[in-house]
């Protein structure tokens, strides 16, 4: 995990045409926020892009602590460089 406690992974799920994406996000900005609020934050951040994107799937919107817990309990952690 990087020192800024943030990681964003963007996956093009459209096969290359740029129509649909999945995102996985680790951010301390999600601390104390419900899932709906977290997704709202992502939607707001991408307001402009959403006009051109056919589909956006928010696979993960978690805090660093939650990410750590998930990493410990599964073998498929969110990658972060």
Residues contributing to the site for another protein (CB under 8 A): 2-4, 6-19, 21, 23, 25, 27, 29, 35-36, 39-50, 52-53, 55-59, 79-81
> CB of residue 16 vs another protein: minimum separation in angstroms?
6
Please give the helix or strand (H or E) that residue 27 lies within, else none.
Answer: strand 20-27
> CB of residue 56 vs another protein: minimum separation in angstroms?
7
Query: CA-to-CA distance for 27 and 80, rounded, in angstroms?
Result: 12
SS3 16: coil
> CB of residue 63 vs another protein: minimum separation in angstroms?
12
User: Is 16 or 32 the residue whose CB approaches another protein more closely?
Assistant: 16
Strand 55-62 to strand 20-27: parallel, antiparallel, or no bridges (unpaired)? parallel
């Amino acid at each position: 995990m990087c020192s800024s406690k943030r990681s964003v992974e963007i996956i093009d799920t459209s096969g290359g045409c740029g129509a649909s994406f999945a995102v996985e996000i680790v951010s301390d900005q999600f601390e104390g926020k419900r899932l709906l609020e977290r997704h709202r934050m992502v939607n707001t951040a991408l307001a402009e892009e959403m006009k051109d994107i056919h589909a956006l799937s928010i696979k993960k919107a978690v805090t660093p602590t939650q990410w750590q817990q998930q990493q410990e309990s599964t073998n498929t952690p969110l990658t972060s460089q």
